[in-house]
Chains A and B, each alone.
Chain A
Amino acid sequence: MIELLASTLRLSTPLIFAAMGGFLCERSGVATICLEGVLLTSAWAAATVTYFSHNPYLGVLAAVMIGTLTMSLHAFLSVKAKSDQIISGVAVNLLAAGITPILTKLLFSSPTNTQTIPMAERLNSSVLIVMAFVFPFLIHFLTYRTGWGLRLLACGDGPEALKTSGISPKSFRFVALALGGAIVSFGGAYLSIAHASQFTRDMTAGRGFIALTALIFGKWRPLPAFLTCLFFGLTDALQIQLQSHPILGNSFPIQALQIFPYLVTLFVLVGFIGRATPPRAINQPEQ
């Protein structure tokens, strides 16, 4: 039981970071389906830099830099180049999925994993887990109690109002996405150097999309999204526990258990959300 709880905390952490980062991005009016890609690149950066530098904190730094860069590519495409935001997100995801194996093969001679990092050099999960639990409240405060947060809400729900008040929504979105990308990167770093001990190809396994679903289910508010992430973490924890259960673990093929979290996500999305209203200005490029 305790094990389940601990497992839930561990498995929700990357989701929470992704959802909080995604919150800032989407609330500024930019549809962000590339949380997956940002998680992937930041995870890769963390693992690679930690391996070579033997220092997990440098790894986290690298993750944040690379993750922010990745999200900024999406920002550039969507905001500056006025590309359709969904397509831009798909492109970033593809780029991340394609470039990480190539770089991995280059540096480690195998395209699928980086070299494992010894126990001593891995990141302490507890620090990140605590961060993950504090961030939602920080984000809530930032959004609903500060002047900057007011501008964020205006950027997503009424960018024309922001513009005529003398603030460029374009510039604001660049900042929001950079910040959001940085937050997501913590999730990526957690995945590869705290939770695991290496980067594996496609290791994010859809977590970015699950985080996005949590955000939508939470109606684009940080605290409900946070709770939803916990729920998804619980589902994942259950699935893993079942796999090693003496009886139940053997009566289902592994695929059935693997499907379980995605199926639950789908049910949540479909069954309980229905028509959720995103920030008004999402996916509407600046005129």
Chain B
Amino acid sequence: MPNNSQELFSFNQITKRFGSIVANQEVTFAVEKGTIHGVVGENGAGKSTIMKILYGMYTPDSGTLRFKGEAKEISDPETAISLGIGMVHQHFMLVPTLTVWENIILGKEPSLWTLNKKEILGKLEELKTSYDFQLDLEAKVETLTVGQQQQVEILKLLYREADILILDEPTAVLTPQETDSLFEKLKKLKEDQKTIVVITHKLKEILSLTDFVTVMRQGKAIETLPTQSLNETTLAEKIIGRKRIPLSNVETGAVQKPILAAENISLSTQQGTLLDRISFTIHRGEIVGLAGIEGNGQQELIEILANVRRDYQGSVLFDSKDPMQFSTYDLRQQGFSLIPPDRHQEGVILSFSLAENSILGHHREKNVSKGPLLSETKVDELAARLIHSFDVRPNDTQLPLSALSGGNQQKLVVARETSRPVSFLLAAHPTRGIDIGATDFIHQHFLQLKANGAGILLVSSELDEILKLSDRILVIYQGAIVAEVEKEKATESQLGLWMTSGGKVCP
């Protein structure tokens, strides 16, 4: 445990419930001043919740907070801000239609009446350069990259003279290069005697950035240790509470017939060229990984391949047929399965029951419907089968899907999409935001599908996942394929370079 005299703030037996869910249970740990402290755990472990309590967004049901040696109650963000606590959330809290400087001063404007823009810009420029941020203060936030937006968030905190910066999953949306840049800035802030708390589930970053780590699991703070005492394996084991089951590798057979061929797919809109002559072929019995930072054309490519979008040039051949002759629905019937990138906005209806979600996209099939009529009993039967085979919990078919954790929701989606004959699976960010247990399950299932002769296109920004599963890796950057490499020859740093600069920078 850290030396108490250095302690800046601490949680003591904090418990917080949301309805019947216990998000934090008697959480106790302390953070030292002038350190970078990591709070690590799987999704749902309670790490965001405990830090939001510090930031005044939630009030604990029991337990106390100690701040600078005294017991304190922080009941709203305003109080937290006045104590010098600032938080950068996982999903940025910026107003996209306003400029950088407007976002920074929001809530702490020099005046509620007329604003002296020149004066404000002058002050902000000073702040900006003193910490070596490179931003255009007059740019509209919606035009910035994710990394730049994060800088705005951090500047917001510095403008309010925060001494404690809490960052929630800061690298979830950054490229490796942007991550390095962020870490540099954080280390500089630490030198300036600022205290930084980083909430994350990424092991590598905890190890490279933090001085101390608190491991959380199922709402409890399990341990707090100096980071030097851990390595990736021991840290992972503490997070999941048991040893990880390694993936059982499946025999890679000889490459079979092509199942999906894309040729010179291009897409140009008012916003510019979104896709630039993309060509690739996927064969049955292979997993091809498409690595890339989100926003480089993957969404458009997925929509084109899945027949959701038809305004492109070039051609796609699915099983030697032109998919445009089918409707979006009918393409599924041909053996084309899709795990969409954004589960909540594309894959499920949270307010529908498990049963109703299990027929989404397959609701006209003969096993549940007869002509225009839908049979409730048959739908229920199908749902029960899917739930059983994928161990979805809780297993009540009539529950609304929103009652399930993200991992279980995604398992249902994967079950739904792969429980009928699949010749090709387009899996987009299939394990994003999912706990390790469900992730391993889904990965194992993909390997099984491959062994059964399906071709899989895995679109992901998680290099770990890509490297673990793919036989071949393609990298997409600014709408074009900039690299293609066999699994054995691929390295993380090289892939990262391609993902962030298209390979135009010499390594």
Direct touch of chains A and B (CB < 8 A): yes
Which residues of chain B from 103 to 122 have a CB within 8 Å of any chain A CB? Answer: 103, 105-115
Q: Contacts A147-B109, A153-B98, A158-B93: A164 and B87 contacting too (C-beta < 8 A)?
A: yes
Task: Identify A158's interface contact among B77, B98, B112, CB under 8 A.
Answer: B98
Nearest CB on A from B470, distance (A): 37
Interface centre among A150, A151, A157, A163, by most B CB within 10 Å? A150
In the bound assembly, the distance between CA atoms of A160 and B107 in angstroms comes to: 12
Nearest CB on A from B112, distance (A): 4
Q: Which of A145, A147, A153, A163 has the most CB of B within 10 A?
A: A147
Interfacial chain A residues near B107, Cβ < 8 Å: 151, 162, 165-167
Q: Is B93 within 8 A of A160, CB to CB?
A: yes
Interface residues on B, range: 20 to 34
Q: Which B76-108 residues have C-beta < 8 A from chain A?
A: 76-78, 81, 87, 89, 93-98, 102-103, 105-108
- Report chain A residues within 8 Å CB of B97: 153, 157-158, 280
Asked whether, in the complex, the Cβ of A150 is within 8 Å of the Cβ of B98, the reply is yes
The reply to whether B77 and A164 contact each other, CB–CB distance below 8 Å, is: yes
Given known A-B contacts A145-B114, A148-B112, A166 and B78 have beta carbons under 8 A apart? yes
A164 lies within 8 A of B89 (CB):
yes
A163 touches B112 (CB 8 A): no
**B96:A158 contact, CB within 8 angstroms:** yes
Say whether B76 contacts A166, CB under 8 Å. yes
A-facing residues in B125-180 (Cβ within 8 Å): 156
Chain B contact residues, majority secondary structure? loop
A 119-173 contacts with B by CB, 8 A: 145-148, 150-151, 153-154, 157-158, 160-167
The reply to whether B115 and A150 form a contact with Cβ atoms under 8 Å apart is: yes
Chain B nearest CB from A129 CB (Å) reads 28
CB distance from A146 to the nearest CB of B (A): 5
Closest beta carbon of chain B to A155's beta carbon, Å: 9
Question: For the side of the interface on A, what is the size category?
Answer: 10 to 19
Q: Which residues of A contact B106 (CB under 8 A)?
A: 150-151, 154, 161-162, 165
Contact status A166-B115, CB under 8 Å = no
Chief secondary structure at chain A's binding surface: helix
Closest A residue to B92 by beta carbon equals A161
Whether A157 and B96, one on each chain, are in contact in the complex, defined by CB atoms closer than 8 angstroms, is: yes
* Shortest distance from the beta carbon of A55 to any chain B beta carbon, whole Å: 33
Task: State A144–B113 Cα separation when bound (angstroms).
Answer: 11
Is B89 a contact of A145 with CB atoms below 8 Å?
no
Residues of B within 8 A of A154 (CB): 95, 98, 106
CA distance A163 to B106 in the complex (A): 10
Q: How far is the CB of A204 from chain B (nearest CB, A)?
A: 32
Chain B positions within 8 Å of A161 at CB level: 93-95, 103, 106
Pairwise interchain contact A147-B98, C-beta atoms closer than 8 A: no
Are A145 and B115 closer than 8 Å at their CB atoms? yes
Task: Using A145-B114, A158-B94, A158-B95 as known contacts, say yes or no to A150 and B109 having CB atoms under 8 A apart.
Answer: yes
B78 surroundings in chain A (CB, below 8 A): 166
Alpha-carbon separation in the docked complex, A160 to B95 (Å): 8
Q: Are B93 and A164 in contact (CB under 8 A)?
A: yes
Q: Return chain A residues, CB-CB under 8 Å to B108.
A: 165
Residues of A within 8 A of B76 (CB): 166
| Known interface pairs A163-B77, A164-B77; A147-B95 also in contact (CB < 8 Å) | no
**Which of A157, A160, A161, A167 has the largest number of chain B CB atoms within 10 A?**
A161
Complex-state Cα separation, A151 to B95, whole angstroms = 10
Pick from B87, B89, B103, B113: contact of A147, CB under 8 Å: B113
- What residues of A have a CB within 8 angstroms of the CB of B115 in the complex? 145-147, 150
Q: Which 6 A-B pairs give the minimum distances between C-beta atoms?
A: A165-B107, A158-B95, A147-B109, A166-B78, A147-B112, A161-B93
Inter-chain pairs besides A151-B107, A164-B77, A166-B77, 15 sampled, C-beta below 8 Å: A145-B114, A146-B115, A147-B112, A150-B98, A150-B115, A157-B96, A157-B98, A158-B93, A158-B97, A161-B103, A162-B95, A162-B106, A162-B107, A165-B77, A165-B108
| 17 A-B pairs in the complex with CB atoms less than 8 angstroms apart | A147-B110, A147-B112, A147-B115, A148-B113, A150-B98, A150-B102, A150-B105, A150-B109, A151-B109, A153-B97, A158-B97, A161-B94, A161-B106, A162-B107, A165-B106, A166-B78, A280-B96
